[in-house]
Structure 1
Amino acid sequence: MRLTEDQKTIQELARSFAETELAPIAAQIDQEERIPKEIIEKMAEI
């Protein structure tokens, strides 16, 4: 299966978001078992 260019773009966007926004607070997310509202709002923007 090959990804379309649109799918590749979405994949890269998701990867970048995870690296810049989620990775730095991953321990906090795990400990609190919740994703901060600010992160959810940023996800909604993309």
Structure 2
Amino acid sequence: MHDFLAAQAAAGTQPWTRLWLEGHGTTWRLAADHIERHAETWARALLD
């Protein structure tokens, strides 16, 4: 979603540009980082 918002904001597409300017890109990047950091732990918990 972060990459999508960034691309759409760069193209000037609404409402994505407004959302990007309001900080939604940062929120999605932080969420993705969190998921990536904990993916292995969650996979072990779910699959063991």
Taking structure 1 as the reference length, the TM-score comes to 0.48
RCO comparison, higher one (Cα < 8 Å, 6+) = 2
The structure having more radius of gyration, on CA atoms, is 2
